[in-house]
Structure 1
Amino acid sequence: MSDILSIPNPTGATRLYALLGDPIAQVKGPSLMNQLFAKLGTDAIMVPMHVRPEALQGVVAALRRIENMDGMMVTIPHKFAVCDAVERLSPAVQLAGSANALRRAADGAWEADNFDGRGFVAGLEAQGHNPAGQVIGLVGSGGAGVSIAAALVEAGAAAIRIRDVRPEQSERLVRRLNAHRAGVAQLEPEGTDWRGTHIMINATPLGLRLTDPLPFDPLALAGNTLIADIIMKPRETRLLQLAEGRGMPVFYGEHMLSHQIEMYRRFFFHET
């Protein structure tokens, strides 16, 4: 009976939200947001939508024309491209170059913000890991990675060492971060020795499948290095399993999302 009662029952007055991604089987945002809507007594529903990259601009343009569509969450691989589909970019989006949330403004224009990085930092701090003054290793400069890097700079990280299989993308990120605070970021080549980092972050999709290679070898790092993964499903990626097996501190992807929910609420309800 409780499962039946939990099924959303939209009406003509229901406000709509979408989550856009490719793939979307791993996403947890709609479930958490729908729980929040129910808790608040808000007549709204969020629906995950599997959107291929070549269809993104057309889908966003169509969703914008739906009068009761109030917002969208955005996940891989759309966080860069979606910035071109809206009129206004927040300072966080301008620094990171990517967005993960869109909303309709009072005048009908659409605004973009990015909460990945702020959610990640809030999760770190809630788990007792203050990034201020720390040397950070970041593998992956995609939509989430750039936001995390920007937020860590804002949080006072001493240095951020960045590597990606797309060096031109990482170079753009390093330039933006160093323009914000000179010398804080550096580009790392393939085969980097990550020893000396205090926090190592996987911001790539590697780990979604059990057959994926490791983004880096946690066992080559000092035993007190915090190993963080932004992947949410599976909760324990092979990277985190190896680190835990050695007794290293780990940070699960769910911590980043759980601390974003309140940020999304304020954003979508125009409380920010």
Structure 2
Amino acid sequence: MPVPAAFDDMDSPAVSGRPEIRGTTRLYAVLGCPVAQVKAPGMLNPLFARLGVDAVLVPVLAEPGHLGEIVRGLQRMGNVDGLLVTVPHKAEVRAYADTVSAAAEQSGGANALRREPDGTWYADNFDGAGFVAGLRTAGFDPAGVRVSVVGAGGAGGALVPALLAAGAEHVAVCDPRPERLQALSGRLGAAWPGRFSCSAAPGFEAADLVVNATPLGMRADDPLPFDPGRLPEGAVVADIIMQPRETALLRAAAERGLRIHHGEHMLSHQIPLYREFFRLDPVI
């Protein structure tokens, strides 16, 4: 029985706003737990459409206990070309790559994996580069400033080397888990001796920029990752959380009169990097 024209029109990509899925469509997935907050599909799927790339990016809820099964299953699917990775999997997912970039080595985690022509998988990390680019576009150059990063997990581990490479005078990292700090020191100590320090509790006395690199703020009942009332006048407060856009931390900092920097900038400035990484060339 033929499909009525009205229903056919409503299902078209031009009307629905959804990417067109064909038998030839290549697949990308963004893995996280939770995953409802991810913004990458809303940014990359329109990019695929603009470039004429027959591909789609979908969110995948990956419970920590099943990450290996999920990643290996996706990698064995012949039409999956790449993976993006968010909390809490950035450190563990490196084990499922055959080779990793220098940024992934330094950060201790990966947020993007691609299938190579020979079928192997290559991992990279663009969180740090995206964060620094977002700061600069917003008019804040990290060169010569003192930074305090709260959280030494997957995101914090990526931000610290990127900020140091961008010329930050000193980066102080705090995390209550000593094993994270020891691992970070082991990765970065030889490259930037004396330019970063680690502690269990934050110290903000001389910070020009303070970054929340923890998941605290994603949920409405989360405590603040730190008290912005302790920060010096003129400090910039940045959050890497993208949903909600206005976290409780950023609201509290703005109420105190401090300049704030939203998490969405870190992702939006990674999109050109993803385009190059995944080789998303336009159809000619």
Shorter-chain TM-score tier: over 0.9
Q: Is 1:256 the counterpart of 2:269 in the alignment?
A: no
Please list the CA deviations of residues 183-240 of structure 1 after superposition, one character each: whole Å capped at 9, or x if unmatched.
11111232x3311011000000111122211111112112210000000011011110
- The partner residue of 2:212 within 178, 202, 211 is 202
Cα–Cα, structure 1 residues 62 and 40, in superposed 2: closer, same or farther, change >3 Å? same
Instruction: Kindly state the Cα deviation for residue 3 of structure 1 after the two structures are TM-superposed.
Output: 7.3
**Contact between 2:204 and 2:232, CA under 8 Å: does it hold in 1?**
no
2:245 aligned with 1:235: yes
Q: Identify the residue that residue 49 of structure 1 maps to in structure 2.
A: 60
Distance, in Å, in 2 between the alignment partners of 1:34 and 1:19 is 12
Q: Give the equivalent residue in structure 2 for 1:225.
A: 235
Q: CA deviation at 1:58?
A: 1.3
Q: Which amino acid aligns with 2:272?
A: E
- Residue among 152, 159, 175 paired with 1:148: 159
Matched residue, 1:117 = 128
- 1:246 maps to 256
Contact conserved, 1:225 with 1:248, CA < 8 A, in 2? yes
Please list, as runs of the form range in 1=range in 2, the aligned pairs for 1:1-272 lying within 5 A after superposition. 4-190=15-201, 192-269=202-279
The CA distance in 1 between the partners of 2:211 and 2:68, in whole Å, is 30
Q: Larger Rg: 1 or 2?
A: 2
Question: What do residues 86-110 of structure 1 show as CA deviations (whole Å, max 9, x unaligned)?
Answer: 1010010111110000001111110
Deviation string for 1:56-105 (max 9, x for gaps)?
Answer: 11111111111111000000111011100010100101111100000011
Mapped partners of 2:134, 2:59: distance in 1? 24
- Partners in 2 of 1:197 and 1:138 — Cα distance? 10
Farther off after superposition, 213-222 or 70-79: 213-222
Q: Which amino acid aligns with 2:117?
A: A
- What is the rounded CA distance, in whole Å, between the counterparts of 1:233 and 1:144 in structure 2? 15
8 Å contact kept, 2:51–2:280: no
Report percent identity of matched pairs.
48
**Counterpart amino acid of residue 240 in structure 2:** I
**Partners of 1:177 and 1:184 within 8 A in 2:** no
**TM-score, length of structure 1 as denominator length:** 0.96
Matched pairs, number:
270
Segments of 4+ moved more than 4 angstroms: none
Q: 1:77 to 1:235 in 2, by over 3 A?
A: same
CA contact (8 A) 1:153 1:177 kept: no
Task: Give the alignment's Cα RMSD to 1 decimal.
Answer: 1.4
Inter-partner Cα distance in structure 2 for 1:62 and 1:71: 13
Q: How many angstroms apart in 2 are the aligned matches of 1:265 and 1:193?
A: 38
The aligned amino acid for 1:217 is D
Distance of 1:266 and 1:213 partners within structure 2: 38
Q: Mean alpha-carbon deviation: is it higher for 48-57 or for 181-190?
A: 181-190
Normalized against structure 2, the TM-score is what?
0.92
Residues in 1 aligned to 2:24 and 2:138: alpha-carbon distance in whole angstroms: 40
Q: Tell me the alpha carbon deviations over residues 8-35 of structure 1, each in whole angstroms, 9 at most, x when there is no partner.
A: 2211111100011110011101111111
**1:173 partner letter:** L
Q: Which residue identity does 1:242 align to in structure 2?
A: A
Residues in 1 aligned to 2:130 and 2:63: alpha-carbon distance in whole angstroms: 26
- Give ranges in structure 1 of 5+ residues lacking alignment: none
SS in 1 for 2:149: strand
